[in-house]
A and B are shown apart, each in its own frame.
Chain A
Amino acid sequence: MNIFDMIGPVMIGPSSSHTAGAARIGKIASLLMKEKIVQADVELFGSFAKTYKGHGTDKALVGGILGMNPDDERIRNSLEIAKEQEVQIFIRESSRPAKHPNSATITLKGEKGSSVTVTGASIGGGNIYISQIDGMEVSINGQNDTLIVVHQDMPGIVGKVAEFLGNCGINVCNMALSRETKGGQAILCIAIDGHTDLDVTSYIDRFVGVNRCIMLLAGGK
């Protein structure tokens, strides 16, 4: 904890949980898409489902999906902006029990047919927790810069990524691997110490077997 946890984050109101956290979850989902998003299905749970209209949680989630950060003033008009950008938005209140009181499952579809599904919770103060990506269990809390590598389950990729980070002088503080099936899609989540200005993602993106690599920055950008 530091002074900017007390005086911050800079965000669009009214609620760090219902707007700032929501925008971050939407943004993370959008970062996992490689192509232009044409459709977003958002399923809301718990307090998100009950109060989203009053809090503007829908606008915050959609803002994030359109790539906006939690302090982007366009969030207020994100639903109109989605229309202009021809992104179809479907929002529904889930009747399923919530794992966390403020959570959402977002499914994005791209113009060439690819899709991604992300489940995340807003856990207070704008902090978030991503629990599932494409049905695979993950544990991303956004407290550290976190590298997410979506790849084909095959020998050598984990080692190659870890070795590359080591060569860049980047220290790993947490690492978790999850996969659909043997040889299927897998996700590697690596939380790192501090922050790197090196563009590691576009390098890792070129590794054989890697489908998508993104870096989520602590603080949510």
Chain B
Amino acid sequence: MEFSYHSLQEIVEMAENRGMRLSDLVLMEQANVLECSQKDVLDRMSEQYAVMKNAELRGQEKDVKSTSGLTGGDAYKIKKAMEENRTLSGPFLAGALMRATAISEYNAAMGKIVAAPTAGSCGILPAALITMEEEKGVSEEDCVRALLTASAVGMVIANNASIAGAEGGCQAECGAASAMAAAAIVELSGGTPTQCAHAVAIALKNIMGLVCDPVAGLVEIPCVKRNSSGVANAIVAAELVLCGVKSAIPVDEVIEAMAEVGNKMDVSLKETAEGGLANTTTAKLLCRKVFACKERD
């Protein structure tokens, strides 16, 4: 069995018709494509998940600091607040925010991470999965399988829109990661493939148009915080869908719209560090501090 990742609806229908989870279908298909057993695919994916978990732990440490010195240490603050029971939203949401921040900060500190789908958005999907495991008691094996569901979502977005900030803005990177995480959370909560598609649609709709405007061109400000908001957005989409809410616009059309928005976005807002937050007075000041450079004045 082989299918193209050009329509999420098509994949969802295939899974529904067979009474399978999206991850089961993707596992069958990918074992075929990669010319290996399903166990090999899962074993390799487990290794990726282990790297994610390591980054999550290391990123929570107190002394995490990026090479530029611009970011680091915020995950530790959230962790402390959680330990002291001072969070507004409780361990599920705050935990997800803390994990996304931790992994993203660890990435900025030249830590070992898994691009998911990119390094800039690497905190979102693992934060969702680890939080489901820690707070909702889902099994590690199911989390590894949910990475396959997320991958399918990512591939459809990559094929029809983009997962690169330079091509589609932050909606392409953190947006894609958030949609991937939303589908994973729905599947891990026992939702159907159709519900996964609705969650993807809603997550993308909520983040549509987000520009990529990294201060000093570095994967730090505002990327770290957009990782936390990305996982929060995934939780919002999943929660809505699991309550029975549907996306009025079908998922494939949302992805098409995302591509259109990305194409219409000005180049100064696509990872070039020439517009948006990167163009603020403070950003320019920080840029000079980091590089002692004058090119961006």
- CB closest residue in chain B, given A60: B110
Residues of A contacting B220 in the complex (Cβ-Cβ under 8 angstroms): 14
Residues of A contacting B154 in the complex (Cβ-Cβ under 8 angstroms): 6-7
B217–A8 CB distance below 8 A = no
Residues of A contacting B45 in the complex (Cβ-Cβ under 8 angstroms): 3, 7
A6–B218 CB distance below 8 A = no
B147–A7 CB distance below 8 A = yes
Whether, in the assembled complex, B44 has its beta carbon less than 8 Å from a beta carbon of chain A, the answer is yes
Out of A16, A56, A124, A126, which one reaches B67, CB within 8 Å? A56
Would you give the 0/1 interface string for A1-35, flagging 1 where the beta carbon is closer than 8 Å to chain B?
11111111111111110011000000000000000
Chain A: minimal CB distance from B38 (Å): 12
Interface-located stretch among A47-55, A135-143, A149-157: A47-55
Residues of B contacting A76 in the complex (Cβ-Cβ under 8 angstroms): 110
Whether, in the assembled complex, A134 has its beta carbon less than 8 Å from a beta carbon of chain B, the answer is no
Residues of B contacting A16 in the complex (Cβ-Cβ under 8 angstroms): 115, 118-119
Take A7-B116, A15-B119 as given contacts and tell me if A54 and B34 are in contact as well, using a CB distance cutoff of 8 Å: no
- CB closest residue in chain A, given B55: A13
B218–A54 CB distance below 8 A = yes
Would you give the 0/1 interface string for A35-67, flagging 1 where the beta carbon is closer than 8 Å to chain B?
000000000000100110111100100000000
Would you give the 0/1 interface string for B217-240, flagging 1 where the beta carbon is closer than 8 Å to chain A?
111100000000000000000000
Q: Which of B115-139 contact A (CB under 8 A)?
A: 115-120, 122, 125
Take A6-B116, A16-B119, A19-B110 as given contacts and tell me if A51 and B159 are in contact as well, using a CB distance cutoff of 8 Å: no
A20–B159 CB distance below 8 A = no
Take A7-B45, A14-B66 as given contacts and tell me if A124 and B164 are in contact as well, using a CB distance cutoff of 8 Å: yes
Out of B106, B180, B295, which one reaches A6, CB within 8 Å? B180
Whether, in the assembled complex, A209 has its beta carbon less than 8 Å from a beta carbon of chain B, the answer is no
A54–B68 CB distance below 8 A = yes
State A5–B34 Cα separation when bound (angstroms).
12
A3–B111 CB distance below 8 A = no
Residues of A contacting B203 in the complex (Cβ-Cβ under 8 angstroms): none
State A120–B129 Cα separation when bound (angstroms).
36
Whether, in the assembled complex, B150 has its beta carbon less than 8 Å from a beta carbon of chain A, the answer is yes
Residues of A contacting B194 in the complex (Cβ-Cβ under 8 angstroms): none
B110–A14 CB distance below 8 A = yes
Whether, in the assembled complex, A205 has its beta carbon less than 8 Å from a beta carbon of chain B, the answer is no
State A140–B238 Cα separation when bound (angstroms).
42
Whether, in the assembled complex, A110 has its beta carbon less than 8 Å from a beta carbon of chain B, the answer is no
Give chain A's interface residue range (CB within 8 Å of chain B).
Answer: 20 to 34
- CB closest residue in chain B, given A14: B219
Residues of B contacting A186 in the complex (Cβ-Cβ under 8 angstroms): none
Out of A2, A10, A12, A55, which one reaches B48, CB within 8 Å? A10
Chain A: minimal CB distance from B108 (Å): 5
A13–B48 CB distance below 8 A = no
Residues of A contacting B150 in the complex (Cβ-Cβ under 8 angstroms): 6-7
Which of A1, A8, A13, A76: most chain B Cβ within 10 A?
A: A13
State A195–B44 Cα separation when bound (angstroms).
17
Residues of A contacting B34 in the complex (Cβ-Cβ under 8 angstroms): 2
Whether, in the assembled complex, B8 has its beta carbon less than 8 Å from a beta carbon of chain A, the answer is no
- CB closest residue in chain B, given A50: B295
B159–A1 CB distance below 8 A = yes
B48–A50 CB distance below 8 A = no
State A46–B119 Cα separation when bound (angstroms).
20
Whether, in the assembled complex, B202 has its beta carbon less than 8 Å from a beta carbon of chain A, the answer is no
Whether, in the assembled complex, A80 has its beta carbon less than 8 Å from a beta carbon of chain B, the answer is no
Whether, in the assembled complex, B158 has its beta carbon less than 8 Å from a beta carbon of chain A, the answer is yes
Take A14-B110, A51-B291, A54-B67 as given contacts and tell me if A3 and B166 are in contact as well, using a CB distance cutoff of 8 Å: no
- CB closest residue in chain A, given B125: A7
A13–B295 CB distance below 8 A = no
Residues of B contacting A10 in the complex (Cβ-Cβ under 8 angstroms): 47-48, 51, 112-114
- CB closest residue in chain B, given A72: B112
Whether, in the assembled complex, A214 has its beta carbon less than 8 Å from a beta carbon of chain B, the answer is no
B67–A55 CB distance below 8 A = yes
With A10-B47, A11-B119, A14-B218 given, name 16 new contacts (CB 8 A).
Answer: A3-B26, A6-B116, A10-B112, A13-B113, A14-B110, A14-B120, A16-B118, A20-B119, A47-B217, A50-B291, A50-B293, A54-B68, A55-B218, A59-B110, A125-B115, A125-B118
- Residues of chain A touching chain B, judged by Cβ–Cβ distance below 8 Å, are 1-16, 19-20, 47, 50-51, 53-56, 59, 71, 73, 75-76, 124-126, 194
**16 A/B residue pairs, CB under 8 Å, sorted by A:** A5-B155, A7-B115, A8-B48, A11-B112, A12-B111, A12-B113, A13-B106, A13-B112, A14-B107, A14-B119, A16-B119, A50-B291, A51-B216, A54-B218, A54-B291, A55-B218
